[in-house]
Amino acid sequence: MPGSDTPRDQPHTGQDGGALPGKAGLRQRVLAARAAMPESARTDASRLIRDHVLEMPEVAAAGTIAAYYSVGTEPGTHSLVFALWKRGSYVILPVLLPDGDLDWASYEGPDALAPGPRDMLQPTEPVRGPGTVARADIVLVPALAVDAAGNRLGRGGGSYDRALARVGGQVPTIALLYDGELLPGVPAEPHDRPVRAVARPGDGITWL
């Protein structure tokens, strides 16, 4: 985790220097870097992230876990969600509403999923209301980047900012990232909701 004296006005570029880009520019860079990763590297990284999350005492003790089903080049969560469910956790997954908010429904295995908006696979179980996420003991969230203050860069739709606004401040909210995506600074706006930890393949769990 970057120290408190890490310059916040320099993005992670693999090189020194450079001004902090806006959200759109940073989002474009991270997506391009993910697309350039070999599929085998993404698969290996996803396996390591899965193992780190499963080893967390907080996750082992959680009764209800709000997770998500990864799409595209995101760190893969399909095997993680399945493993959580198989060991007895009550797993809820998001269902995207027309206004961009997230409802939630229980995960009952990979055969109980159906295609939804934005290439998402969503549970076929009845939805339980957007406020259901407030009852989760752990919340796993997608992100493109996070900084040392927990500021999270998402896809820009605001769905998870609304969901995280319903989650209590003591609930572990964990973003799943590739190595190199915990940055010195991420542009943040008043409506953005920070996360409390990140899970990465090389560095495991970092609390923020």
Distance CA 117, CA 114 (A): 10
According to the annotation, is 159 in a ligand binding site? yes
Is 112 marked as binding a ligand?
A: no
Q: What share of the chain is helix, strand, coil (3-state, %, to 5)?
A: 30, 20, 50
Q: Is 150 annotated as a binding residue?
A: no
What single string gives the DSSP state of each residue in 103-137? EEEE---GGGEEE-GGG-EEE-SPP--GGGGGG-S
Is 42 annotated as ligand-binding?
Answer: no
Would the annotation count 76 as a binding residue? no
User: Pairing state of beta strands 90-96 and 102-106?
Assistant: antiparallel
Q: Is 14 annotated as a binding residue?
A: no
* Phi, psi dihedrals of residue 91, rounded to the nearest 5°: -105, 130
- Residue 17 in marked binding region: no
Check whether 157 is labelled as a binding-site residue.
Answer: yes
Q: Is 48 annotated as a binding residue?
A: no
Q: Was 86 annotated as part of a binding site?
A: no
Contact yes or no for 36/84 (Cβ under 8 A): no
- Is 25 annotated in a binding site? The answer is yes
Residue 68 marked as a ligand binder: no
Binding residue per annotation — 69? no
Query: How many whole angstroms separate alpha carbon 50 and alpha carbon 176?
Result: 9
Annotated binding site for substrate: 74
Q: Which residues fall in the annotated binding site for ATP? A: 23-27, 152-160
Q: Which residues are annotated as a binding site?
A: 23-27, 74, 152-160
